[in-house]
Structure 1
Amino acid sequence: MKTITKLLILFVLLTGATAFAQKKPLLYGIMLDENHHPIEGVNIYYADIEGTVRTTTNENGFYQIQLPADRQVVVWFEHISFKLSRIEITMGAGDTYEFSSLMLNNVEQMGSLIINAETGSKRVEGVISISPETIRNIPGAMPGVENIIKIIGGNSNNELSSQYAVRGGNYDENLVYVNDIEIYRPFLIRSGQQEGLSFTNTSMVENVDFSAGGFQSKYGDKLSSVLNITYRKPEKNAIQADASFLGAAVTVEGISKNKKWSGIIGGRYRNNSLLVNSKETQTNYKPTFVDVQTLLNYNPNQKWEFSFLGNISQNKYHYQPLTRQTNFGTIDDPVALQIFYDGREKDEYRTYFGAVTSKYKVSDNFDLKFIGSVYHTQEQEYFDILAQYALGEVDTNLGSDTYGDIQFARGVGSQLNHARNDLDALIVNAEVKGYHDIKKNLVEWGIKYTREDFRDRLLEWEVIDSAGFSLNAPILDLPVNNQPYTPYTGPLVPYQNVRALNFVTINRVQGYAQWSRRMVVGDSVQLYMNAGARVHQWQVSGDNLESKSQVVISPRAQFAIKPKWKKDMVFRLSGGLYYQPPFYRELRDSLGQVNPDVKAQRSIHIVAANDYSFTVNNKRFKLVSEAYYKKLDDVNTYTLENVRIRYRANNDAVAYAYGLDMRLNGEFVPGTESWLSFGYMKTEENINDRGYIARPTDQRLKFGILFQDYVPTIPSLKMYLNLVYNTGLPGGSPSYADSYQYQSRLNDYRRADAGFSYVIVDAQKKDKVSATWLKPFEELSIGLEIFNLFDNQNAITNTWVRDVYTKSQYGIPNYLTSRVFSLKLYAKI
């Protein structure tokens, strides 16, 4: 471990840090004709104070041209066979921007692009930017922003969940913002198939930024990552809709005649029955996931901006399992678990969210922003499910009438699970932020107050009967039930019994201040520096709780450099001290009791990165490599079952995580962006000085591909591929078991989702449309999606079953979805 730490520190010292692009802004791209073929000889030029600056496209349609910084220029695109077109563009020093377009022979194209300093700074801040078009097109069982994040920055072995883990952290360690407003998730969800819709409505997204570690002080107090989403402000009236066998969505947007008012509203419906009914458990499954989301904007003058973001969602999850058979073991010793169910589960999650933001321009160099938000969730989890099982050898005789059934039972038993869990939570935030631009120095600060009120009732128990004899909870000091060999005289108690009633209030005060500066040293060596700190004070109080107050301070910094090399490289070093003050679920132990003394988990981040932009066959690519190391103290250990996390709430461990992430993105096919990612990671924890073992999120290798293509002879026919390979996660352990004795892993996760679409109408085809009914459409496409293309069996957790004869426990894998086909329709008016 010490050797690895030294190597990482040496790597950091040798590679330096970060910076930004070239001194002069660079505009580049590929010009295509209506058939998506490259156009050679397009004249590209703009007028400068020293004369006209020109370039032309090569045989592959590629061009690049340097522009003046921080002022608007008109760039013209001219060819004898096509209509003259232009764009108005403003770029900051050091920025690069790709502008690829189709040239038409009957329409003049005009547009305006503003590329400000913020766009160029993402490279030096270590932020990944993802286009909304890529997010919308890439197929997945849970489509949306999180579907992409799982590939390029996070890890997940559960396609039914929108949650993800980043660099050894768990699902509770990720910050999510929409328009600078922090977003929360429901609390009682224990299975990915219960989640329904993520908060983010993809149809409303304008920009997505993601940082996997070493992020700045302006972001909140979590240990792993930041996902920062910006919703767009409408510039015209439009309607877009999509529908598939899994659900539907409609988004309406508009703007007033005086341009002061604009708004966008979207409604979504989701039903995962098609996916879940493909699983090995036969069920009656009736889920409905519905939400309505809106963003309203008002700009009365150049000084003020106002906006309102609202969301109402209702997830109903009704589940009635019938039967299940899982075959496992070996060819020589095939074993099966057969279960017959009785009972049902009825869960409901209703959330209401509203936020008001106001931005005031005090002067040209000083902006203020005010944010107020309210989040209210009402959740219930009710179930009574009796499972009667048999574990035994399978009949493998092909001619037998009982082929595939259990022939000899090694163990039989039953399991009864009961729950009546209710949670009501209200979270209120008030925040003010300031932005000062002082002579090439950017100073940012903010103060935030949060009040969290939780009303929580936990009532759940489990009774296990094995071979006709009730099993006692192993954590209780009771005599062992060893029937029929010896009589049992002790009391009959549940194997698990969680009963708690919690009324908890948490008050938080947070503040941050940070400074950033960009400079040029010598001829063209460019530097970027950022330093700041956060302070977080919180107080936990409630019925029958002793009030507890704690304070943490979190310093963070980033440094970047772009040397004067022919190769376009940026080096970045970032890190600091990161704390995660406990949220309500982290205060609650495995028995449901709240411990107000839980400390903030602490992590030291060191991230060293290299950002390399290059050209191959006149196609632009970017390769980003990041080596990271995290040392964690006061770790709040937990067990992970599907997506439910149960903390021990006692800060009883230390841990570490280190690894390497590499991402390559670019236009492998002209006009489309694709991504390749590779990651290696190792994370372990030491609980009560018993030695290091794998953490529940210890996923050693990951590999992902997001690929887009089209048929050259039929450019309207497009293909999208989402390919994931992850090594297996730790398989967990039975309830109350010692995790040190259960360190086996699940099988590797392998999944491919493919999408095919035929574009009927788009911007290039619109003027050629002859059918009258197609005239109103700006975009129209129809497609086919194939989920789990190769029908791989992926497991998310184990079901632990006791063999009464060998006294051992079998980990029976709980498999996820199999191959599913779905049609999809997309339209925009």
Structure 2
Amino acid sequence: MAARIFFLLLFTVLIGFSANSQPFLHISGHVTDTTGKPVARATVKINTTGLGTISDDDGFFELPVITGDSVTIVISSVGYRPVERVVRYQGKTDVFIEQTVVPDISILDVVTVRAETDRPTTMTRIEGRVLDLLPSASGSIEQVLKTLPGVSSQQELSSQYSVRGGSYDENLLFVNDVEIYRPFLISSGQQEGMSFINPDMVSSLRFSSGGFDASYGDKMSSVLDITYKKPAGNCGSASVSMLGGTAHIEGLSANKKITYISGFRYHTTQYLLSTLETRGEYIPRFLDFQTYMTFELTKRTELSFLGNIAQNRYDYYPDSLVKAFGTFNNVLNLRIYYEGSEADKYNTWLGCFGLNHKPNKKTSLKFICSGFTAAESETYDIEGAYLLQEAEDQQNPSATDSAMNIGIGAFHNHARNFLDVYVFSLRHKGSFAQGDNKLQWGMGAQREIVFDELHEWEMIDSAGYSIPYSNNEVNLARSAISSNTLYSTRMHLYAMNTHEFSTRYGTTTLNAGARFSYWDFNQALNAGPRMTLAFEPEWKRDFLFRLSGGIYHQPPFFREMRSNAGIVNRDIKSQQAIHVVMGSDYNFYAWERPFKFTAEAFYKWLSNLIPYKLENVRIRYAGDNMADGYAMGVDFKVNGEFVKGTESWISLSLLRSREDVRNDSYVNGDGLTVYPGYYPRPTDQFATFGMYFQDYLPRNPSLRMNLTFLYGTGYPFTSPYTERYDLYWRMPAYKRVDLGLSKILINENSVIHDGSIFKPFKGLVAGVEVFNLFNIKNRISHIWVRTLSDSEYIPDMYAVPVFLTGRRLNVKLTVRF
């Protein structure tokens, strides 16, 4: 809008000076791709002067020019070949052109991050044509998010992530307006399997790391909104690698009233898990089938269906662990010999019907009915005999000789945990656009049923004494036995309006609304106003400034309500966060290529927090609103064409996230009362750096390289055997580089002779991925070894680091037809 006003004003001024000397043209047009879809945000500029504009969301543009006999304009967009178009002056002042742009082989299958469409909001749009070339050990699309500012993760096998110091459970995930739930009982990344999101079916992603509008709720940190494709033609793909395989097919009926896209995935991380220090047999098997269909009932009414079936299983038979740890001057050796096994199952089913109706061009109505079921089980009996020694040869800690035995003993871990979850929901959302205003509203009700059986314990025997030691009985180190059945109903209502207006100073967009929620479990009614104000000044340089904020409530789901002992808190309250986010972005050209610089500063007031401890990816909640806290920081990102025709980005985040447990004072050994005060939240990281980089050989653009680099200062961690949260240490920094190399063997422009076995293929890509390129040992958790080593039977504790997977090479082949 601002660009159009600028050029119209410029056009008017130039007319006054040039109307009698040179002809002028008002060029307008429509930019589409080879399938007929509009190309939004395409750059249209005059070849000689560089002045130009961009196409709107529907691919239309307007460009007033002063010209002689003719003018050459250049139309370009990331992912397409630039097109030069000569427009001649033939006595007409208004010229309309239709221009089709074709995909460029040099940027085939890139991941593109754009924020133009959602620029006035806090949402970032990520357009992913095909994410096959992204090097990812987990195969999840969330690996892209982990390179964005404000997002952190220290687990390559998990799709979970933390945003601006929040927990993994503080992030919303929607697919086609349906809220998606992640597995509840997983305790490590190797158990998790695949993310719900099927990359082959994705059309676009929209992500906000805070300050999002009232249509999203109810979580405190972030929202990831996925849109699945609505096919425009018949095609499909299949891929196979050392980590599994995928297949998908999409198409539409002859009358184009029915569309469908379905995908199947099989994933196994057995090849990666063989690099772990604990020797044994790992058997992970993850299966997933999804389908999305639309039925055009009338020109204004459409019925859709989204379905998913996922069956995930993880079997584990540990054998032994031999490792050295400690300090440079005090190296210790630990040997553990295991017996037993673990068997975990995570099965989910999802079905959703949606009815879209557009009574007129201004009004849109949608009704959604969905059902979700999860059946999870976690069962294990693992015994271990351990020997902890001080290494005799400190320069060669792997030697078998020892200077001194520190502890000898055994342990037994047992679990029979079962969880069944049923979630049924009815929702309605709508919008009405009139002039410069767009009114949006929504409401919904959700019924939840949870059956939980928790039975787990840990026994530790050190030199014949159980820990914790007692003269009268044998005690368990940890135990939780409970049975819970929960029925609850949640309801929500929201309304918001977006108003855009322009002055001579620039364009202002104001989004204001409120969200209300009610939960009958604790009879709590929450209300949260939210607002985003964006201003795009009428400057020569393309800046935009944003201010957003609001009140965000997170009513607890099942995990937050249950304490470590398995007791459900019937008086639990919603956690609350107040967001204030100030940001700006700047679009500019460097080396004649487009770039964007984004910066945001944020502060979050946190109250009624439920403290938790993070063990690998398992969150153990206190089950009570015991704490208050805050999070503040800054995020920076630069994205653009570092290499012509491809988009890459780098991000940097600085964070401070703290919480304070109320009434947690204690009396120390000197008889003084100590108030611990604020301590870091479990996902607090002072600095994170992420990079996603794409490149290709200039003379052979079909040979491509994709690289991701992640760095983050260490998470805090604490002992699971203490109830205090302020006693913590820091893990070492997380550092990881994944590299992907691919060769496009066949594309749509390839000439294939009749009779060739490759004739049906529209694309063939061979790739090699190197996970953990530099074979860095990243720490994820600890084995806590407890021994009785003194006469007072007070156990010592040793935190033995557990590392993630090492370097692995993966070969991948992808075909499209």
For the aligned pair, the TM-score class normalised by the smaller chain equals: 0.7 to 0.9
Q: Distance in 1 between matches of 2:6 and 2:115?
A: 12
Is 1:493 paired with 2:475?
A: yes
Is 1:373 paired with 2:370?
A: yes
User: How many Å apart are 1:131 and its aligned residue?
Assistant: 2.1
User: How many Å apart are 1:388 and its aligned residue?
Assistant: 1.2
The correspondence for 1:730, drawn from 709, 716, 719, is 716
Aligned partner of 1:144 in structure 2 is 140
The 5-angstrom pairing of residues 299-698 of structure 1 reads: 299-396=296-393, 403=399, 406=402, 408-472=404-468, 480-481=469-470, 488=471, 490-522=472-504, 525-540=506-521, 548-689=522-663, 690=675, 691-698=677-684
Tell me, yes or no, if the aligned pair for 1:24 and 1:68 is still in contact at 8 Å: no
SS of the residue aligned with 1:148?
helix
Q: For 2:518, give the aligned amino acid.
A: Q
Is 1:822 paired with 2:810?
A: yes
Deviations 1:436-475 (A, max 9, x none): 1122111111110000000110001110111221013xxx
SS of the residue aligned with 1:152?
coil
SS of the residue aligned with 1:624?
strand
SS of the residue aligned with 1:682?
strand
Deviations 1:282-318 (A, max 9, x none): 1111111001000011112221011100000000110
The normalised TM-score by structure 1 is 0.85
Is 1:812 paired with 2:800?
A: yes
Distance 1:560-1:73 versus aligned 2 partners, 3 A rule: closer
User: How many Å apart are 1:133 and its aligned residue?
Assistant: 3.8
Greater Cα offset, 730-739 or 298-307: 730-739
Aligned partner of 1:761 in structure 2 is 746
Q: Distance in 2 between matches of 1:74 and 1:539?
A: 51
The correspondence for 2:127, drawn from 131, 135, 138, is 131
SS of the residue aligned with 1:274?
helix
Tell me, yes or no, if the aligned pair for 1:397 and 1:403 is still in contact at 8 Å: no
User: How many Å apart are 1:810 and its aligned residue?
Assistant: 1.6
Q: Distance in 1 between matches of 2:370 and 2:704?
A: 41
Tell me, yes or no, if the aligned pair for 1:75 and 1:86 is still in contact at 8 Å: no
SS of the residue aligned with 1:766?
coil
User: How many Å apart are 1:494 and its aligned residue?
Assistant: 1.4
The correspondence for 1:789, drawn from 770, 773, 776, is 773
Aligned partner of 2:81 in structure 1 is 101
Q: Distance in 2 between matches of 1:527 and 1:647?
A: 43
Distance 1:70-1:350 versus aligned 2 partners, 3 A rule: closer
Aligned partner of 2:52 in structure 1 is 65
Deviations 1:183-206 (A, max 9, x none): 111211111111111100000000
Q: For 1:580, give the aligned amino acid.
A: Q
Distance 1:250-1:494 versus aligned 2 partners, 3 A rule: same
Q: Distance in 2 between matches of 1:200 and 1:329?
A: 41
Distance 1:21-1:639 versus aligned 2 partners, 3 A rule: farther
The 5-angstrom pairing of residues 267-306 of structure 1 reads: 267-306=264-303
User: How many Å apart are 1:98 and its aligned residue?
Assistant: 4.5
Q: Distance in 1 between matches of 2:584 and 2:533?
A: 12
Deviations 1:397-434 (A, max 9, x none): 8899x725655321111110000111111000100111
Q: For 1:750, give the aligned amino acid.
A: K
User: How many Å apart are 1:121 and its aligned residue?
Assistant: 4.5
User: How many Å apart are 1:70 and its aligned residue?
Assistant: 8.3
SS of the residue aligned with 1:818?
coil
Distance 1:426-1:70 versus aligned 2 partners, 3 A rule: closer
Q: For 1:159, give the aligned amino acid.
A: E
Q: Distance in 2 between matches of 1:672 and 1:605?
A: 34
Q: Distance in 2 between matches of 1:455 and 1:54?
A: 59
Q: Distance in 2 between matches of 1:640 and 1:216?
A: 29
Q: Distance in 1 between matches of 2:576 and 2:736?
A: 34
Distance 1:633-1:821 versus aligned 2 partners, 3 A rule: same
Q: Distance in 2 between matches of 1:498 and 1:65?
A: 66
SS of the residue aligned with 1:430?
strand
Q: Distance in 2 between matches of 1:750 and 1:215?
A: 30
Q: For 2:658, give the aligned amino acid.
A: E
SS of the residue aligned with 2:4?
coil
Distance 1:74-1:779 versus aligned 2 partners, 3 A rule: farther
Tell me, yes or no, if the aligned pair for 1:136 and 1:144 is still in contact at 8 Å: no
Q: What percent of counterpart residues are identical?
A: 39
Q: For 1:715, give the aligned amino acid.
A: P
Deviations 1:346-365 (A, max 9, x none): 01111000001111112221
Aligned partner of 1:709 in structure 2 is 695
Q: Distance in 2 between matches of 1:682 and 1:162?
A: 23
Q: For 2:680, give the aligned amino acid.
A: A
The correspondence for 1:779, drawn from 757, 760, 763, is 763
Q: Structure 2 unaligned runs (5+)?
A: 8-24, 30-42, 64-71, 85-97, 104-113, 664-674
Greater Cα offset, 321-330 or 677-686: 321-330
Is 1:158 paired with 2:155?
A: yes
Distance 1:57-1:496 versus aligned 2 partners, 3 A rule: same
SS of the residue aligned with 1:586?
helix
Greater Cα offset, 334-343 or 727-736: 727-736
Tell me, yes or no, if the aligned pair for 1:161 and 1:192 is still in contact at 8 Å: yes
Q: Distance in 2 between matches of 1:775 and 1:176?
A: 40
Is 1:255 paired with 2:237?
A: no
Deviations 1:148-177 (A, max 9, x none): 111104110011110001001101100000
Distance 1:112-1:215 versus aligned 2 partners, 3 A rule: farther
Q: Distance in 2 between matches of 1:130 and 1:267?
A: 23
Q: For 1:526, give the aligned amino acid.
A: T
SS of the residue aligned with 2:406?
strand
Deviations 1:672-715 (A, max 9, x none): 11010100001011011440011101111100110000122332
Q: Distance in 2 between matches of 1:143 and 1:159?
A: 10
Distance 1:247-1:738 versus aligned 2 partners, 3 A rule: same
User: How many Å apart are 1:395 and its aligned residue?
Assistant: 4.6
Q: For 1:101, give the aligned amino acid.
A: R
User: How many Å apart are 1:767 and its aligned residue?
Assistant: 3.4
Q: Distance in 1 between matches of 2:203 and 2:5?
A: 26
Tell me, yes or no, if the aligned pair for 2:115 and 2:124 is still in contact at 8 Å: no
User: How many Å apart are 1:775 and its aligned residue?
Assistant: 2.3
Q: Distance in 2 between matches of 1:439 and 1:650?
A: 48
Q: Distance in 2 between matches of 1:465 and 1:86?
A: 79
Q: Distance in 1 between matches of 2:262 and 2:771?
A: 29
Distance 1:67-1:247 versus aligned 2 partners, 3 A rule: closer
Q: Distance in 2 between matches of 1:187 and 1:67?
A: 45
Q: Distance in 2 between matches of 1:619 and 1:129?
A: 20
SS of the residue aligned with 1:772?
coil
Q: For 1:65, give the aligned amino acid.
A: G
Q: Distance in 2 between matches of 1:510 and 1:333?
A: 58
SS of the residue aligned with 1:359?
strand
The number of residues matched between the two structures is 739
SS of the residue aligned with 1:23?
helix
User: How many Å apart are 1:276 and its aligned residue?
Assistant: 0.9
Is 1:802 paired with 2:786?
A: yes
RMSD: 2.8
SS of the residue aligned with 2:297?
coil
Q: For 1:531, give the aligned amino acid.
A: A
SS of the residue aligned with 2:298?
coil
